[in-house]
Amino acid sequence: MSKNIIWHIGLFVFSVLIQVLFMDNIQFYSLVNPYFYVLFILLLPINTPRYLLLILGFALGLTIDVFANTPGIHASATVFMAFLRPFMINTANIDEQEKTISPTIMNMGVGWFIKYSLVLILFHHTFLFFVEIFSFHSFLNTILRSVLSGLFTFVLILLSQFIIYRK
Amino acid sequence: MKSLLNFLIKYHVFFLFLILEIFSITLIVRFNRFHRVSFLNSSNVVSASILDKYQGVVDYFQLKRINELLADENARLRNDLQNLQLESMDASIEYDSIGEHFIVVPAKVIRNSVNKQHNYLTLNKGAKHGVKPDMGVVCADGVVGVVLNVSENYSTVLSVLNGRWAINAKLKQSNQFGPLKWDGNNPMYAYLEEIPYHVRVLVDESVVSSGFSSIFPEGLSIGKVEEVAHSPGETFQTIKIRLSVDFRTLFYVQVIAQVDKNERIELENVTGNE
Protein backbone atom coordinates (compact mmCIF):
# COMPACT_ATOMS: atom_id res chain seq x y z
CA MET A 1 0.00 0.00 0.00
CA SER A 2 2.69 2.49 1.02
CA LYS A 3 4.67 1.44 -2.02
CA ASN A 4 1.68 2.48 -4.08
CA ILE A 5 1.58 5.93 -2.41
CA ILE A 6 5.28 6.54 -3.06
CA TRP A 7 4.82 5.49 -6.69
CA HIS A 8 2.02 8.05 -7.09
CA ILE A 9 3.99 10.83 -5.40
CA GLY A 10 6.75 10.06 -7.88
CA LEU A 11 4.24 10.20 -10.72
CA PHE A 12 3.02 13.61 -9.48
CA VAL A 13 6.54 15.07 -9.55
CA PHE A 14 7.26 13.41 -12.90
CA SER A 15 4.10 14.82 -14.53
CA VAL A 16 4.76 18.34 -13.23
CA LEU A 17 8.42 18.36 -14.31
CA ILE A 18 7.69 16.97 -17.78
CA GLN A 19 5.01 19.62 -18.17
CA VAL A 20 6.94 22.70 -17.06
CA LEU A 21 10.33 21.74 -18.48
CA PHE A 22 9.38 20.23 -21.85
CA MET A 23 5.72 20.50 -22.78
CA ASP A 24 5.45 24.24 -22.14
CA ASN A 25 8.15 24.78 -24.75
CA ILE A 26 6.19 23.11 -27.55
CA GLN A 27 4.76 25.74 -29.87
CA PHE A 28 2.99 25.42 -33.19
CA TYR A 29 1.54 28.86 -33.95
CA SER A 30 -0.11 28.85 -30.50
CA LEU A 31 -2.47 26.13 -31.76
CA VAL A 32 -0.96 23.16 -29.97
CA ASN A 33 -0.21 23.41 -26.23
CA PRO A 34 -0.10 19.90 -24.79
CA TYR A 35 -0.96 19.52 -21.09
CA PHE A 36 0.65 16.21 -20.29
CA TYR A 37 0.34 16.56 -16.50
CA VAL A 38 -3.26 15.22 -16.54
CA LEU A 39 -1.58 11.79 -16.73
CA PHE A 40 -1.40 11.85 -12.93
CA ILE A 41 -5.18 12.16 -12.53
CA LEU A 42 -5.79 9.49 -15.20
CA LEU A 43 -3.61 6.93 -13.43
CA LEU A 44 -4.81 7.30 -9.82
CA PRO A 45 -6.08 3.95 -8.42
CA ILE A 46 -9.65 3.06 -9.32
CA ASN A 47 -10.87 3.07 -5.69
CA THR A 48 -9.50 6.57 -4.90
CA PRO A 49 -12.25 8.38 -2.93
CA ARG A 50 -13.94 11.11 -4.94
CA TYR A 51 -13.09 13.88 -2.45
CA LEU A 52 -9.42 12.89 -2.62
CA LEU A 53 -9.54 13.01 -6.42
CA LEU A 54 -10.80 16.59 -6.27
CA ILE A 55 -8.20 17.68 -3.73
CA LEU A 56 -5.35 16.03 -5.66
CA GLY A 57 -6.64 17.61 -8.87
CA PHE A 58 -6.65 21.01 -7.23
CA ALA A 59 -3.13 20.53 -5.84
CA LEU A 60 -1.80 19.40 -9.22
CA GLY A 61 -3.46 22.25 -11.11
CA LEU A 62 -2.24 24.85 -8.64
CA THR A 63 1.33 23.52 -8.87
CA ILE A 64 1.25 23.94 -12.65
CA ASP A 65 -0.28 27.41 -12.18
CA VAL A 66 2.60 28.50 -9.98
CA PHE A 67 5.07 27.64 -12.74
CA ALA A 68 3.00 29.12 -15.54
CA ASN A 69 1.94 32.35 -13.75
CA THR A 70 -1.73 31.58 -14.27
CA PRO A 71 -3.26 31.31 -10.76
CA GLY A 72 -6.50 29.32 -10.87
CA ILE A 73 -6.67 28.42 -14.56
CA HIS A 74 -5.09 24.96 -14.43
CA ALA A 75 -6.53 24.37 -10.95
CA SER A 76 -10.12 24.89 -12.10
CA ALA A 77 -9.69 22.74 -15.23
CA THR A 78 -8.04 19.88 -13.34
CA VAL A 79 -10.68 19.91 -10.58
CA PHE A 80 -13.33 19.75 -13.32
CA MET A 81 -11.59 16.75 -14.87
CA ALA A 82 -11.18 15.02 -11.48
CA PHE A 83 -14.90 15.54 -10.90
CA LEU A 84 -15.76 13.82 -14.20
CA ARG A 85 -13.33 10.91 -13.78
CA PRO A 86 -15.58 8.58 -11.69
CA PHE A 87 -18.29 8.77 -14.37
CA MET A 88 -15.81 7.46 -16.94
CA ILE A 89 -14.43 4.85 -14.52
CA ASN A 90 -17.98 3.50 -14.03
CA THR A 91 -18.16 2.54 -17.71
CA ALA A 92 -15.76 -0.34 -16.98
CA ASN A 93 -16.89 -3.49 -15.21
CA ILE A 94 -14.27 -4.38 -12.63
CA ASP A 95 -14.19 -7.00 -9.89
CA GLU A 96 -14.36 -5.71 -6.32
CA GLN A 97 -10.89 -7.06 -5.41
CA GLU A 98 -9.27 -5.48 -8.46
CA LYS A 99 -10.22 -1.94 -7.45
CA THR A 100 -6.85 -1.02 -5.98
CA ILE A 101 -5.16 -1.10 -9.39
CA SER A 102 -4.56 1.90 -11.65
CA PRO A 103 -6.64 2.19 -14.82
CA THR A 104 -3.64 1.77 -17.12
CA ILE A 105 -3.62 0.54 -20.68
CA MET A 106 -2.17 -2.81 -19.54
CA ASN A 107 -4.80 -3.36 -16.85
CA MET A 108 -7.85 -2.18 -18.73
CA GLY A 109 -7.19 -2.88 -22.39
CA VAL A 110 -6.41 -0.54 -25.28
CA GLY A 111 -9.98 0.18 -26.40
CA TRP A 112 -11.30 1.18 -23.00
CA PHE A 113 -8.23 3.27 -22.13
CA ILE A 114 -8.45 5.21 -25.41
CA LYS A 115 -12.09 6.10 -24.76
CA TYR A 116 -11.46 6.91 -21.09
CA SER A 117 -8.41 9.13 -21.58
CA LEU A 118 -9.58 10.85 -24.77
CA VAL A 119 -12.91 11.96 -23.27
CA LEU A 120 -11.32 13.25 -20.05
CA ILE A 121 -8.46 15.00 -21.86
CA LEU A 122 -10.83 16.75 -24.26
CA PHE A 123 -13.08 17.92 -21.39
CA HIS A 124 -10.03 19.18 -19.51
CA HIS A 125 -8.52 21.01 -22.48
CA THR A 126 -11.78 22.61 -23.62
CA PHE A 127 -12.51 23.84 -20.10
CA LEU A 128 -8.92 25.09 -19.76
CA PHE A 129 -8.78 27.02 -23.05
CA PHE A 130 -12.12 28.69 -22.43
CA VAL A 131 -11.15 29.71 -18.91
CA GLU A 132 -7.78 30.96 -20.20
CA ILE A 133 -9.28 33.22 -22.87
CA PHE A 134 -12.26 33.99 -20.57
CA SER A 135 -14.72 34.78 -23.38
CA PHE A 136 -16.65 33.13 -26.19
CA HIS A 137 -15.26 35.78 -28.50
CA SER A 138 -13.26 33.50 -30.82
CA PHE A 139 -15.32 30.41 -30.14
CA LEU A 140 -14.33 28.24 -33.12
CA ASN A 141 -10.65 29.09 -32.79
CA THR A 142 -10.70 28.06 -29.12
CA ILE A 143 -12.50 24.80 -29.95
CA LEU A 144 -9.89 24.09 -32.64
CA ARG A 145 -7.04 24.76 -30.21
CA SER A 146 -8.67 22.52 -27.57
CA VAL A 147 -9.15 19.62 -29.97
CA LEU A 148 -5.68 19.81 -31.56
CA SER A 149 -3.91 20.17 -28.20
CA GLY A 150 -6.12 17.44 -26.72
CA LEU A 151 -5.22 15.00 -29.48
CA PHE A 152 -1.55 15.79 -29.07
CA THR A 153 -1.71 15.28 -25.29
CA PHE A 154 -3.60 12.03 -25.89
CA VAL A 155 -0.88 10.67 -28.19
CA LEU A 156 1.83 11.61 -25.67
CA ILE A 157 -0.05 9.92 -22.81
CA LEU A 158 -0.60 6.80 -24.90
CA LEU A 159 3.12 6.67 -25.71
CA SER A 160 4.07 7.28 -22.07
CA GLN A 161 2.04 4.19 -21.10
CA PHE A 162 4.30 2.00 -23.17
CA ILE A 163 7.42 3.58 -21.68
CA ILE A 164 6.37 3.58 -18.00
CA TYR A 165 4.80 0.09 -17.95
CA ARG A 166 7.22 -1.69 -20.24
CA LYS A 167 7.26 -5.39 -19.50
CA MET B 1 -30.61 20.21 11.37
CA LYS B 2 -29.93 16.51 11.10
CA SER B 3 -31.43 16.30 7.65
CA LEU B 4 -29.30 19.28 6.55
CA LEU B 5 -26.20 17.47 7.77
CA ASN B 6 -27.28 14.31 5.98
CA PHE B 7 -27.81 16.31 2.82
CA LEU B 8 -24.34 17.84 3.08
CA ILE B 9 -22.75 14.45 3.71
CA LYS B 10 -24.62 12.82 0.88
CA TYR B 11 -23.49 15.40 -1.65
CA HIS B 12 -20.09 16.25 -0.08
CA VAL B 13 -18.24 15.53 -3.32
CA PHE B 14 -20.34 17.96 -5.30
CA PHE B 15 -19.99 20.68 -2.65
CA LEU B 16 -16.23 20.18 -2.49
CA PHE B 17 -16.16 20.45 -6.29
CA LEU B 18 -18.11 23.73 -6.15
CA ILE B 19 -15.90 25.18 -3.40
CA LEU B 20 -12.66 24.34 -5.25
CA GLU B 21 -13.99 25.73 -8.54
CA ILE B 22 -15.20 28.96 -6.91
CA PHE B 23 -11.83 29.35 -5.22
CA SER B 24 -9.99 28.83 -8.56
CA ILE B 25 -12.21 31.27 -10.43
CA THR B 26 -11.67 33.83 -7.68
CA LEU B 27 -7.93 33.42 -8.13
CA ILE B 28 -8.27 33.96 -11.89
CA VAL B 29 -10.45 37.04 -11.57
CA ARG B 30 -8.36 38.64 -8.85
CA PHE B 31 -5.10 38.13 -10.72
CA ASN B 32 -4.33 41.31 -12.55
CA ARG B 33 -1.86 44.14 -12.28
CA PHE B 34 -3.50 45.64 -9.25
CA HIS B 35 -4.23 42.60 -7.12
CA ARG B 36 -1.00 40.72 -7.27
CA VAL B 37 -1.04 37.24 -5.81
CA SER B 38 2.41 37.60 -4.41
CA PHE B 39 3.47 34.00 -3.79
CA LEU B 40 1.61 32.11 -6.54
CA ASN B 41 3.93 33.01 -9.38
CA SER B 42 7.13 31.74 -10.88
CA SER B 43 9.37 34.21 -9.02
CA ASN B 44 8.95 32.26 -5.77
CA VAL B 45 12.00 30.47 -4.43
CA VAL B 46 11.11 26.85 -5.22
CA SER B 47 9.83 27.16 -8.77
CA ALA B 48 12.35 29.84 -9.79
CA SER B 49 15.35 27.85 -8.62
CA ILE B 50 14.14 24.73 -10.46
CA LEU B 51 13.67 26.77 -13.65
CA ASP B 52 17.05 28.46 -13.15
CA LYS B 53 18.92 25.15 -12.83
CA TYR B 54 17.13 23.70 -15.83
CA GLN B 55 17.79 26.79 -17.94
CA GLY B 56 21.46 26.47 -17.04
CA VAL B 57 21.54 23.05 -18.72
CA VAL B 58 19.55 24.20 -21.75
CA ASP B 59 21.76 27.25 -22.20
CA TYR B 60 24.77 25.03 -22.54
CA PHE B 61 23.36 23.67 -25.78
CA GLN B 62 22.49 27.15 -27.02
CA LEU B 63 25.95 28.64 -26.40
CA LYS B 64 26.82 28.91 -30.06
CA ARG B 65 23.65 30.83 -30.85
CA ILE B 66 23.99 33.09 -27.82
CA ASN B 67 27.56 33.85 -28.80
CA GLU B 68 26.47 34.85 -32.26
CA LEU B 69 23.75 37.12 -30.88
CA LEU B 70 26.18 38.77 -28.48
CA ALA B 71 28.77 39.24 -31.21
CA ASP B 72 26.11 40.88 -33.39
CA GLU B 73 25.10 43.18 -30.59
CA ASN B 74 28.73 44.05 -29.89
CA ALA B 75 29.28 44.98 -33.49
CA ARG B 76 26.21 47.17 -33.53
CA LEU B 77 27.16 48.91 -30.28
CA ARG B 78 30.66 49.55 -31.56
CA ASN B 79 29.16 51.05 -34.67
CA ASP B 80 26.92 53.31 -32.58
CA LEU B 81 29.84 54.34 -30.41
CA GLN B 82 31.81 55.34 -33.47
CA ASN B 83 28.92 57.47 -34.70
CA LEU B 84 28.51 59.12 -31.30
CA GLN B 85 32.19 59.96 -31.12
CA LEU B 86 31.99 61.54 -34.54
CA GLU B 87 28.94 63.55 -33.48
CA SER B 88 30.46 64.73 -30.22
CA MET B 89 33.41 66.23 -32.07
CA ASP B 90 30.91 68.63 -33.52
CA ALA B 91 30.47 70.98 -30.55
CA SER B 92 27.20 72.44 -31.79
CA ILE B 93 25.32 69.18 -31.23
CA GLU B 94 24.16 68.49 -27.68
CA TYR B 95 22.82 65.14 -26.70
CA ASP B 96 21.90 63.23 -23.56
CA SER B 97 23.62 59.96 -23.06
CA ILE B 98 21.22 57.30 -21.88
CA GLY B 99 23.46 56.42 -18.94
CA GLU B 100 22.64 59.70 -17.22
CA HIS B 101 18.95 59.06 -16.90
CA PHE B 102 18.63 55.32 -16.68
CA ILE B 103 19.70 52.49 -14.44
CA VAL B 104 20.41 49.34 -16.45
CA VAL B 105 20.43 45.86 -14.86
CA PRO B 106 21.40 43.03 -17.24
CA ALA B 107 19.45 39.82 -16.64
CA LYS B 108 19.02 36.34 -18.04
CA VAL B 109 15.65 34.92 -19.08
CA ILE B 110 15.08 31.65 -17.20
CA ARG B 111 11.51 31.08 -18.36
CA ASN B 112 9.58 32.40 -21.29
CA SER B 113 6.41 31.51 -23.13
CA VAL B 114 4.77 32.74 -26.32
CA ASN B 115 1.92 30.27 -26.76
CA LYS B 116 -0.39 31.30 -23.94
CA GLN B 117 -3.00 34.05 -23.98
CA HIS B 118 -1.10 35.84 -21.21
CA ASN B 119 2.63 35.37 -21.48
CA TYR B 120 5.18 36.07 -18.79
CA LEU B 121 8.98 35.90 -18.49
CA THR B 122 10.98 35.01 -15.41
CA LEU B 123 14.37 36.71 -14.94
CA ASN B 124 17.27 35.71 -12.71
CA LYS B 125 17.59 39.17 -11.13
CA GLY B 126 15.48 40.44 -8.24
CA ALA B 127 15.20 43.01 -5.46
CA LYS B 128 18.78 42.28 -4.38
CA HIS B 129 20.04 43.54 -7.74
CA GLY B 130 17.89 46.66 -7.72
CA VAL B 131 14.95 45.41 -9.78
CA LYS B 132 11.60 46.89 -8.74
CA PRO B 133 8.04 46.42 -10.05
CA ASP B 134 7.11 48.68 -13.00
CA MET B 135 10.62 48.86 -14.40
CA GLY B 136 10.91 48.43 -18.16
CA VAL B 137 12.54 45.39 -19.79
CA VAL B 138 14.30 45.72 -23.14
CA CYS B 139 16.69 43.68 -25.25
CA ALA B 140 19.00 44.54 -28.10
CA ASP B 141 16.13 44.47 -30.61
CA GLY B 142 13.62 46.54 -28.66
CA VAL B 143 10.91 46.53 -26.01
CA VAL B 144 10.24 43.23 -24.18
CA GLY B 145 7.91 44.02 -21.28
CA VAL B 146 7.51 45.45 -17.80
CA VAL B 147 8.46 43.98 -14.39
CA LEU B 148 5.44 42.67 -12.48
CA ASN B 149 6.57 40.82 -9.36
CA VAL B 150 9.94 40.85 -7.63
CA SER B 151 11.37 38.44 -5.08
CA GLU B 152 14.81 38.48 -3.49
CA ASN B 153 16.65 36.91 -6.44
CA TYR B 154 14.09 36.63 -9.24
CA SER B 155 11.45 38.67 -10.99
CA THR B 156 8.52 38.04 -13.32
CA VAL B 157 7.89 40.21 -16.35
CA LEU B 158 4.68 40.97 -18.19
CA SER B 159 5.61 40.33 -21.81
CA VAL B 160 4.41 42.45 -24.74
CA LEU B 161 2.65 39.21 -25.76
CA ASN B 162 0.06 39.62 -23.02
CA GLY B 163 -3.47 40.90 -23.58
CA ARG B 164 -3.60 42.36 -20.07
CA TRP B 165 -1.69 45.51 -20.97
CA ALA B 166 -0.69 47.70 -23.91
CA ILE B 167 2.46 49.75 -24.58
CA ASN B 168 2.05 53.30 -25.74
CA ALA B 169 3.63 53.33 -29.19
CA LYS B 170 3.98 55.91 -31.92
CA LEU B 171 4.57 55.95 -35.65
CA LYS B 172 7.99 57.36 -36.34
CA GLN B 173 7.07 59.41 -39.43
CA SER B 174 3.82 61.03 -38.33
CA ASN B 175 4.36 60.99 -34.54
CA GLN B 176 0.81 59.66 -34.14
CA PHE B 177 0.51 57.50 -31.03
CA GLY B 178 -1.79 54.79 -29.73
CA PRO B 179 -1.81 51.59 -27.65
CA LEU B 180 -0.07 48.53 -29.08
CA LYS B 181 -2.00 45.35 -28.27
CA TRP B 182 -1.38 41.66 -28.86
CA ASP B 183 -4.37 39.64 -30.07
CA GLY B 184 -3.25 36.31 -28.61
CA ASN B 185 -2.50 34.50 -31.85
CA ASN B 186 0.86 34.91 -33.55
CA PRO B 187 3.89 35.85 -31.39
CA MET B 188 5.39 37.79 -34.32
CA TYR B 189 2.61 40.33 -34.78
CA ALA B 190 0.68 42.86 -32.70
CA TYR B 191 -1.77 45.63 -33.53
CA LEU B 192 -1.44 49.39 -33.17
CA GLU B 193 -4.83 50.81 -32.25
CA GLU B 194 -6.55 54.17 -32.21
CA ILE B 195 -4.80 55.67 -35.24
CA PRO B 196 -7.45 57.78 -37.07
CA TYR B 197 -8.13 57.47 -40.79
CA HIS B 198 -6.63 60.77 -41.88
CA VAL B 199 -3.13 59.67 -40.87
CA ARG B 200 -1.13 58.22 -43.74
CA VAL B 201 0.54 55.05 -42.59
CA LEU B 202 3.28 53.58 -44.76
CA VAL B 203 4.08 49.90 -44.93
CA ASP B 204 7.50 49.23 -43.31
CA GLU B 205 7.29 52.42 -41.29
CA SER B 206 8.99 52.09 -37.88
CA VAL B 207 6.96 51.97 -34.68
CA VAL B 208 8.78 53.11 -31.53
CA SER B 209 7.98 53.69 -27.86
CA SER B 210 6.33 57.07 -27.31
CA GLY B 211 8.14 58.04 -24.11
CA PHE B 212 4.92 59.30 -22.51
CA SER B 213 5.20 56.86 -19.63
CA SER B 214 8.20 56.82 -17.35
CA ILE B 215 8.76 53.09 -18.04
CA PHE B 216 10.46 53.32 -21.43
CA PRO B 217 12.50 56.15 -22.93
CA GLU B 218 11.33 57.59 -26.21
CA GLY B 219 12.36 55.97 -29.48
CA LEU B 220 12.98 52.35 -28.45
CA SER B 221 12.22 50.06 -31.38
CA ILE B 222 8.99 48.07 -31.18
CA GLY B 223 8.36 46.92 -34.74
CA LYS B 224 7.49 47.80 -38.30
CA VAL B 225 4.15 48.27 -40.03
CA GLU B 226 3.29 45.07 -41.87
CA GLU B 227 -0.17 45.78 -43.16
CA VAL B 228 -2.74 48.59 -43.03
CA ALA B 229 -6.40 47.70 -43.37
CA HIS B 230 -9.52 49.84 -43.56
CA SER B 231 -12.36 47.75 -42.24
CA PRO B 232 -15.80 49.27 -42.84
CA GLY B 233 -17.65 50.46 -39.77
CA GLU B 234 -14.50 51.00 -37.72
CA THR B 235 -13.49 54.42 -36.39
CA PHE B 236 -9.79 53.67 -36.57
CA GLN B 237 -7.40 51.95 -38.93
CA THR B 238 -6.32 48.39 -38.30
CA ILE B 239 -2.53 48.43 -38.35
CA LYS B 240 -0.66 45.14 -38.11
CA ILE B 241 2.84 45.45 -36.66
CA ARG B 242 5.69 42.99 -37.17
CA LEU B 243 7.44 42.99 -33.77
CA SER B 244 11.18 43.60 -33.88
CA VAL B 245 11.86 41.33 -30.89
CA ASP B 246 11.69 37.60 -31.59
CA PHE B 247 10.17 36.43 -28.30
CA ARG B 248 10.89 32.79 -29.06
CA THR B 249 14.65 33.32 -28.85
CA LEU B 250 15.11 35.66 -25.89
CA PHE B 251 18.20 34.90 -23.82
CA TYR B 252 19.49 38.11 -22.30
CA VAL B 253 17.56 41.26 -21.49
CA GLN B 254 18.15 44.53 -19.66
CA VAL B 255 15.93 45.92 -16.93
CA ILE B 256 15.88 49.71 -17.17
CA ALA B 257 14.48 52.44 -14.93
CA GLN B 258 14.46 56.16 -15.19
CA VAL B 259 16.30 57.79 -12.32
CA ASP B 260 13.86 60.13 -10.67
CA LYS B 261 13.99 63.46 -12.45
CA ASN B 262 13.39 65.52 -9.27
CA GLU B 263 16.10 63.64 -7.50
CA ARG B 264 18.48 64.45 -10.30
CA ILE B 265 17.65 68.18 -10.26
CA GLU B 266 18.07 68.33 -6.47
CA LEU B 267 21.39 66.58 -6.71
CA GLU B 268 22.59 68.98 -9.36
CA ASN B 269 21.53 72.01 -7.25
CA VAL B 270 23.39 70.74 -4.18
CA THR B 271 26.53 70.19 -6.21
CA GLY B 272 26.20 73.62 -7.78
CA ASN B 273 25.98 75.47 -4.41
CA GLU B 274 29.18 74.11 -3.03
Q: How far is CA B211 from CA A103, A142, B136, B169, B205, in A?
A: 59, 36, 12, 8, 18
Query: Across the interface, which of A33, A72, A134 has its CB nearest the CB of B115?
Result: A33
Distance from CA of B82 to the nearest CA of A (A): 40
Same fold, B45-89+110-163 and B167-249: yes
pLDDT band at residue B97 under the 50/70/90 scheme: very low
Q: Flag if B54 and A21 touch (Cβ within 8 Å).
A: yes
**A154-158 contacts, C-beta under 8 A, 24 or more apart:** A154/A117, A154/A118, A154/A121, A156/A23, A156/A34, A156/A36, A157/A36, A157/A38, A157/A39, A157/A42, A157/A117, A157/A121, A158/A105, A158/A114, A158/A117
Whether A29 is in a domain gets the answer no
Query: pLDDT-derived band of residue B39, with 50, 70 and 90 as boundaries?
Result: low
pLDDT at position B268 is 65
Residue B91 has pLDDT above 60, yes or no: no
Residue A79 confidence (pLDDT): 95
Q: Do B42 and A73 touch (CB under 8 A)?
A: no
CB–CB contact A69 B185 (8 Å): no
Separation between Cα atoms, residue B47 and residue B44, nearest integer Å: 6
Domain assignment of residue A149, yes or no? yes
Task: Check if the beta carbon of residue A77 is closer than 8 Å to that of residue A33.
Answer: no
As a whole number, the mean pLDDT across chain B is: 80
**CB-CB neighbors (< 8 A) of B28 in chain A:** 70-73, 76, 131, 134
By percentage, how much of chain B surpasses pLDDT 90? 11
pLDDT of A43 strictly over 50: yes
**B120 to chain A: closest CA residue:** A69
Would you tell me how many other CB atoms lie within 10 Å of the CB of residue A94?
15
More confident residue, A61 or B213: A61
Nearest CA in chain A to B14: A83
Work out the pLDDT band at B41, boundaries 50, 70, 90: low
Q: Please report, for chain B, the start and end positions of each structural domain, with discontinuous segments joined by +.
A: 45-89+110-163, 167-249
Which residue among B12, B118, B186 places its CB closest to the CB of A51? B12
Any domain includes A116: yes
Pick the residue of B15, B26, B28 with the most A CBs within 10 A to test the interface with A by mutation.
B28
A167 has a pLDDT exceeding 70: no
Q: For residue B185, give the nearest of A30, A33, A62 by CB distance.
A: A30
- Selected residue with higher pLDDT from B261 and B267: B267
Closest approach of A132 to chain B, Cα-based (Å):
7
**A53 is a domain residue:** yes
Q: Which domain, by its residues, includes A117?
A: 2-23+34-164
Per-residue pLDDT band at A116 (split at 50, 70, 90): very high
pLDDT given at position B40: 63
Closest among B63, B53, B71, B240 to B140, alpha carbons compared: B71
User: Shortest CB distance from A51 goes to which of B13, B31, B47?
Assistant: B13
In a domain, A92, yes or no: yes
Can you give the pLDDT at residue A13? 93
The lowest-confidence range among A55-64, B83-92, B114-123, B166-175 is B83-92
Mutation site, A17, A69, A73, A148, interface B, largest B CB count within 10 A: A69
Which pLDDT belongs to residue B102?
Answer: 67
What's the pLDDT score for residue B96?
46
Contact call for residues A89 and A103 (beta carbons, < 8 A): yes
Cβ-Cβ contacts under 8 Å, A132 against chain B: 116-118
pLDDT in tens, A76-96: 999 999 999 999 988 887 777
What pLDDT sits at residue B92? 41
Residue A157 belongs to a domain: yes
Domain B167-249 belongs to what topology?
Answer: Thrombin, subunit H (2.40.10)
Identify the pLDDT of residue B199. 85
Partner B contacted by A27 (CB < 8 A): yes
B115 CA: distance to closest CA in chain A (Å): 4
pLDDT at residue number B202: 87
Task: Please give the pLDDT value at position B273.
Answer: 57
Question: Over the stretch A119-142, which tens digit does the pLDDT of each residue have?
Answer: 999 999 999 988 887 777 778 888
The answer to whether residue A81 is domain-embedded is yes
A76 touches chain B (CB under 8 A): yes
Closest-CA distance of chain A to residue B205, Å? 25
Nearest-CB residue to B42 (from A58, A67, A75): A67
The minimum CA-CA distance between A167 and chain B, rounded to whole Å, is 31
Asked which of A2-6, A7-11, B2-6, B214-218 is least confident by mean pLDDT, the reply is B214-218
* CATH 2.40.10.340 assigned to B45-89+110-163: yes
Is A134 in the B-facing interface, judged by CB distances under 8 Å? yes
Count other Cβ atoms within 10 Å, centred on residue A24: 21
- Structural domain total, chain A: 1
Does A127 reside within a domain? yes
A41 vs B64, more confident: A41
The lowest-confidence range among A130-144, B33-47, B161-175 is B33-47
Per-residue model confidence as pLDDT tens digits over A9-40:
999 999 999 998 888 777 666 678 889 999 99
As a whole number, mean pLDDT of residues A55-84 equals 91
